[in-house]
Amino acid sequence: MPSIKSNTTIHGLQAFTQEVYGVSNDRYFNAWDMLTNVERFLMRGLKGIRKEDQEKIELNLIISLSWYMSLMNQLHINLEENVWHRFPYVCSYCGDLPCSCKSKKVKKRQKITIDNKLRPKTLKEFQIMFEKIYPSTTRTLEHAGIHLAEEIGELSETVLNYRGSHKDDDFKQVTLEAADLFSCYIGVFNSLKSDLATKLSIVFKNNCHVCKKSPCECSFDKIMHFKF
Ligand SMILES: [Zn+2]
Ligand SMILES: [Zn+2]
């Protein structure tokens, strides 16, 4: 039965989502519906920040992340590849490790070279990489949450743009914003000093976390009334 292990890769997480939720996603939801679900649980996660409730933050962001993986599957985006090319062990904007955007007041996106020897293998290693690029000691949890909210807005904007234009260049923007959003999910978990892969392995230790089936057999009604 499909499960997520604490040594999962980003690719493994995306494949798990497809195996368990691919059928119900295809039948019930289009890209807009999925984005709404990504946002819905992301905002519940932000509510957890306001309420200072770590479990509420973690669980809701994990469900948001699962919807986001479903969206990546529907758009046929290879997330791991995109994240690595956007953040090859340096900040995607200033190109430094750690990021020096603020201290050097970087105003222009710098050209980045990719050293594939540095590429993390597991999700856990990606989380460590993001902590090194964007140390959580340099921001508050609230700051990480606001950044996450900004990025879901930017992803939505690019999806809207692409659905209108159907141009390859606009699709490229979707993939870039998708990687930025992913970095911000990780950023919140780093601010919480919480290991995302381990949390995922608890929630998704056995098929769908609600109906315990694979493929998921949750009804539309059940999905829409689910909450942590
Ligand atoms: Zn930077
Ligand atoms: Zn289910």
Is the residue at 4 inside a domain? no
Q: How far, in Å, is the centroid of ligand 2 from the Cα of 211?
A: 4
E strands, 44-121, in order: none
Q: How far, in Å, is the centroid of ligand 1 from the Cα of 109?
A: 9
Whose atoms come closest to the Cα of 226: which ligand? 2
For the chain, what is the domain count?
Answer: 1
Does residue 227 carry a pLDDT above 90? no
DSSP state of 137: G
Q: How far, in Å, is the centroid of ligand 1 from the Cα of 169?
A: 24
Q: How far, in Å, is the centroid of ligand 2 from the Cα of 31?
A: 19
Whose atoms come closest to the Cα of 90: which ligand? 1
Is the residue at 5 inside a domain? no
Is the residue at 24 inside a domain? yes
Does residue 193 carry a pLDDT above 90? yes
Is the residue at 2 inside a domain? no
Whose atoms come closest to the Cα of 215: which ligand? 2
First to last CA, the chain: 24
Is the residue at 16 inside a domain? yes
Is the residue at 70 inside a domain? yes
Question: Residue 76 — φ and ψ, nearest 5°?
Answer: 55, 50
Whose atoms come closest to the Cα of 107: which ligand? 1
Whose atoms come closest to the Cα of 2: which ligand? 2
Task: Identify the domain containing residue 79 by its residue range.
Answer: 10-224
**pLDDT for residue 228:** 81
Per residue in 27-46, pLDDT (tens digit) is 999 999 999 999 999 999 99
The pLDDT of 174-178, averaged and rounded, is 98
Is the residue at 150 inside a domain? yes
User: What gap in Å lies between CA 181 and CA 77, rounded to an integer?
Assistant: 14
Whose atoms come closest to the Cα of 21: which ligand? 2
Q: How far, in Å, is the centroid of ligand 2 from the Cα of 95?
A: 41
Share of the chain above pLDDT 90, in %: 97
Is the residue at 3 inside a domain? no
Per residue in 84-100, pLDDT (tens digit) is 999 999 999 999 999 99
Alpha-carbon distances, residue 151 vs 34, 108, 191 (angstroms): 16, 19, 17
Per residue in 110-167, pLDDT (tens digit) is 999 999 999 999 999 999 999 999 999 999 999 999 999 999 999 999 999 999 999 9
